[in-house]
Chain A
Amino acid sequence: LAKTTQPISMDSYEGQEVNITCSHNNIATNDYITWYQQFPSQGPRFIIQGYKTKVTNEVASLFIPADRKSSTLSLPRVSLSDTAVYYCLVAPLGKLIFGQGTELSVKP
């Protein structure tokens, strides 16, 4: 089963672009890569999903190289409210496996 690896924590300042990379070396051909955001004492919230190349929505961009063994979530111009834990998710055979998450701290 594919396993994801992310940095445990990252620090940033307001207005900066933040890139969080997730490694998933054993990703299967049919797996999609999905990112979630979680605030304290709340359930995770879907941010973005992709299969290959680049996906962009109103919240973030997701970059996936051709080999799909990693992915990078890009948050443009972060604010204090982006302080949260970000999870990279790969879904093999319908069983969802969350990584340990990256705790992003945005400072003023």
Chain B
Amino acid sequence: DADVTQTPRNRITKTGKRIMLECSQTKGHDRMYWYRQDPGLGLRLIYYSFDVKDINKGEISDGYSVSRQAQAKFSLSLESAIPNQTALYFCATPSERGDQETQYFGPGTRLLVL
């Protein structure tokens, strides 16, 4: 499976602060995804990218922005963090199967906004 890393793994920040979550993959996949998970809820898609110049909004993009600096890197930014953005954030890439329905997820970043 794709080697997906996320940094930081845990982060505490304050309301109004700008924060960036980073995701890197080593398998050269064109597609990368950012999801958010809240306690007791499923994953919701924030943004996805089909290549460096193709970025698309997902289900819940408001309050977030992304940057695809290179094929291997996809960053998620909260320009002005608010408490209801406290959640577990996952980055994902396609699995070795290659289709978009089967994805490999990173270890996640746990974000707390005070």
Contact = CB atoms under 8 A, between A and B. Distances in A.
Interface of A: 32, 34, 41-46, 49, 87, 89, 91, 94-101
A96 B45 contact: yes
Contacts, number: 53
Contacts of B88: 41
B43 A94 contact: no
B101 A49 contact: yes
12 contacts: A34-B102, A42-B108, A43-B90, A43-B92, A43-B108, A44-B103, A49-B102, A94-B100, A98-B42, A98-B44, A100-B41, A100-B42
A43 B107 CA distance: 6
**What band does the interface of chain B fall in when counting residues whose beta carbon is under 8 Å from A?**
20 to 34
A34 B44 contact: no
A46 B100 contact: no
Interface string B13-29: 00000000000000000
Given A41-B108, A42-B107, A43-B90, A99 B102 contact: no
A46 B103 contact: yes
- Give the most central of B104, B105, B110: most A CB within 10 Å: B105
B7 to A, nearest CB: 15
B42 A101 contact: yes
